[in-house]
Each structure stands twice: as structure tokens, then as C-alpha cells.
Amino acid sequence: MEAIVCEAYGPVDDLVLRELPEPVPGPGEIRLQISAVGVNFPDALLVRGLYQVKPDLPFVPGIECAGTIDALGEGVSGLEVGDRVAAMSPRFGTYAQAVVVPASHAYLLPASLEFTQAGGLLCAHGTAYHALVQRGSLQAGETLLVTGAAGGTGLAAVQIGCALGAHVIAACSTPEKLEVAKRHGAHAGINPSGDDLRGAIRSLTGGNGADVIFDPVGGELADTLSRSVAWRGRWLVIGFAGGKIPQLPLNLPLVKGYSVVGVFWGNFCEKESDQAHQNHQQLFELTASGALQPQLHAVMPLAQAANALQQIEQRTVCGKIVLTP
């Protein structure tokens, strides 16, 4: 099978296309013939050796995909050869024509959901749904501020926040990205690079601050965000696409009574697999019905994985890129 291989930690353009043996599922595992692969910012961090974990070299990147089961390991029940599924791979490896994953990490797809939609749905929309529903307890009528709101995870949070009845404020780095966020339901927009971010948040929230902040960016925005959370608000820490892990003055959540809440979708899927299954099935149903409409920035051949990751690193992507083996 063909696969994209990282042979040394470094720039994403050092990735190479190799011919590898097709993996064999062990007990409790399934093998997928992959039809679509979601490309995510953590994939680039992984290749550069900057992610929370460092797999042994060489390795195949990628954490999510969609495809068709073609082999079952011993003891697998509830899934059959020929089933269409989306899957996450805790050991990476989805930038390939086939992958082996635990059966518990595969989710049956509705017949009407296309692979290109499903292949990029789990990580971004799964993270956003878990963050806003289980971690942030977002309620209808509350104000949700989303940073990086035109990226894959940020745009998913805009869509899901709107579906949950929140008043959504999108923070994006360009007017073009703000327009994308507004097309997907954002009620208001802020450009952090051009606007007075703190003043804009105060103005748009009646001086109260945001009830929930969904923040996959971190970096220099964090100081302003730490002063822009409403009383009893929730600041959801999703990631650090801004490149810098911020330091938080803990007196601020103390005096303002807000919570700083970590969100790690991968660990959630491992530790709370039943809830993860419920979340993902809900997302599939919402997408199949048209209530959620994931934004596909591009569909590209697997061989162009490095180019796809470069676009994500350069912040030129609105929504998701999907690779097709």
C-alpha cells in the first residue's frame, strides 16, 4: 500500500510517499481501506516533533479517516466487513491507503454521508462538540467567542454553537475569513490583528465578556482573553495554533469566578468511549440531515499531503482539507 512517511522530525515538506506492507488487524482491531483522510494542524506538529507525544521514527501521520472495513481481528463484534465507517487512530497512520484501528474507535456512517464529509468530521467537529457540550456546558442564549473561527476546529465550533442556540462571535485574522465564519452562522466578527480585541468583546457583550471562549489559538491572544470572560464563564483551552503556550495570571479566574477548562478530544475518546460514540453519531446525523455543513477547503490526492499541511501552517485554509488515497 502507499503511505506518507515521516522519516525524521522536521519540516512537513520532508514527508515522503513510500510503499509499505498492508497492516494486519490484531484482536479487537479492524482494517479499513481508506477513502478520505482529514488533515489537521496537530498532524504538522507531530511531523515537526512538537506535539504532546512523539511516535518512534519512521511513522505514518494522521489521526482520522473514513473508509470501508475489509478485515476484522479476533473478537470484534458489532462491525462487519463492508461496513462504511469513520475512524480515529490513536497510533496515527491514516495518511495511507489502509490502516488498522481499535474497533472501539470506528463509527458507522449513515448511508447518505459521503466519505469526503466524514473523513474530516471527527477531529474538528468531534472536538468542538465535546468542548461545547460536555466541557463548556454551553446554553442557548449564552455568548460564545471562537478564536481561529475560520479554521477547521474553529469553524466547527461556530456551526455547533449556532446549532445549540448561542450568540456566536467569530475572531478571525482577515476580512475574508470573517466572511466565511459569518456564512456559517456567526452573528458578529472581530479581527484581532486590526481591532481593539478587548474593547470589541466588551462592546459586543454589553461589557459582560463572553460566557464561553473556544480557543484553539492561545499565543498572544491569551492575555486579552483572560480579561474577557464573563462571570462564571468557561475558557476552553483547545490548543496553541498561535505557537506559544500562554502563562495565565490565576488571580483573574479567581476574582471573576470563571473556569479554565482543558479539552483533549483524543483522550476523551479513549477514556469515555461510550460518550464519544454518542457524540459522533449525533454529528453524523446532523451532517447527513444538512443541519451541519462542514466546510471543505479542498480535496487533494494523498501524494500532496505535504502541500496540504503547508497550507494549514500558513493559515490559508478555511475549514478542512481532505486527502484521497
How does pLDDT run across 10-67, given as a tens digit for each residue? 999 999 999 999 999 999 999 999 999 999 999 999 999 988 889 999 999 999 999 9
Q: Are 211 and 140 in contact (CB under 8 A)?
A: no
pTM, entire model:
0.90
The pLDDT mean for the chain works out to 93
DSSP 82: T
What does the pLDDT average to over 291-305? 92
**Confidence tier at 293 by pLDDT (50, 70, 90):** confident
* Cα(109)–Cα(127) distance, integer angstroms: 18
Q: Which domains can be identified in the chain, with CATH numbers?
A: 2-121+295-324 (3.90.180.10), 124-265 (3.90.180.10)
* Cα(141)–Cα(151) distance, integer angstroms: 24
Note the pLDDT of residue 102. 95
The grid coordinates of residue 146 equal: 471562537
pLDDT in tens, 206-226: 999 999 999 999 888 888 899
**Confidence tier at 247 by pLDDT (50, 70, 90):** confident
* Cα(128)–Cα(135) distance, integer angstroms: 10
- C-alpha distance across the termini of the chain, in Å: 10
**CA distances to 30, 62, 87, 323, 324 from 23, in Å:** 10, 15, 16, 20, 19
Note the pLDDT of residue 172. 92
The answer to whether the bond into 58 is cis (omega within 30° of 0) is yes
| pLDDT for 168 beyond 80 | yes
Q: Kind and range of the H or E element at 262?
A: strand 259-262
